[in-house]
Amino acid sequence: MDATTPTASPTRNRNRRGQGELLRRDIVDAALRMLNELGDDEALSLRAVAREVGIAATSVYIHFADRDELVFAALEQCTADLIRDLDQAEASGGDDPVEQLRARLLFLGTWVREYSGLYKVLHESTLNRRMHLAFKEELATRAVAAVQRCMDAGLAPADDAAAVAFDLRAAVHGAVSIRINEPEADLPPLQDQIDRFLVKLLGVKGR
């Protein structure tokens, strides 16, 4: 997802019959780019999204009744893509549950840093107070499962996997937030911090 917005939007040719889903995805992709740049769902307008795609504003309303519906669809797509990428990162850890979790947390930290605007909207938007974003629950479910696998394998002490997963997520996001908001700060590599989080919060032995 590229957060840059072109200074001028080209005029889009009309989609052929049956290509409505392609236009819908183009609208969602444009909204994702703009939300990442804005970091604020209320700053997004359907007219601006239409200009980004190169279509008339009325074409957006064919697919989305209002801004909330578009932001919901964009965040749902964003979350699905993130879950897919997290699973791929986890798979790079081989058969070791701790390495799988480590890879997952490192990717999450990198993603939050790169898409800080989207992360802010995903977790801090006013939409969270008006609508139940059920699709976000899958992120927590998979994080808990990754922690539980470490415990089941005897690589971490038995504990409340949900609580530990939450603590790990909070620690990683906090570490990334400092890097985003204090870019000049002299900080250790994120990977080193994640290793310490795994030792102190999950209880794995130092690796």
CATH of the domain at 82: 1.10.357.10
Is position 14 within any domain? no
CATH of the domain at 32: 1.10.10
Neighbours of 28 (CB within 10 A): 22
Gap between the Cα atoms of 30 and 44, Å rounded: 11
Is position 171 within any domain? yes
Indicate whether 57 and 133 sit together in one domain: no
Indicate whether 125 and 40 sit together in one domain: no
Indicate whether 111 and 178 sit together in one domain: yes
For the chain, how many structural domains are there in total?
Answer: 2
Is position 8 within any domain? no
Domain limits at 25? 20-66
- Structure tokens given for 15: 């989609």
Indicate whether 173 and 136 sit together in one domain: yes
End position of a domain, from candidates 66, 95, 120: 66
DSSP for residue 8? S
Indicate whether 182 and 123 sit together in one domain: yes
The secondary structure of 80-147, three-state, reads HHHHHHHHHHHHCCCCCHHHHHHHHHHHHHHHHHHCHHHHHHHHHCCHHHHCCCHHHHHHHHHHHHHH
Indicate whether 73 and 124 sit together in one domain: yes
Residue type, 135: F
End position of a domain, from candidates 66, 82, 103: 66
Largest CA distance in the chain: 59
Q: What is the pLDDT along the chain (207 residues), one digit of tens a residue?
A: 444 333 344 444 554 444 678 999 999 999 999 999 999 999 999 999 999 999 999 999 999 999 999 999 999 999 999 999 999 999 999 999 999 999 999 999 999 989 999 999 998 888 888 888 999 999 999 999 999 999 999 999 999 999 999 999 999 999 998 988 888 889 999 999 999 999 999 999 865
Gap between the Cα atoms of 86 and 69, Å rounded: 26
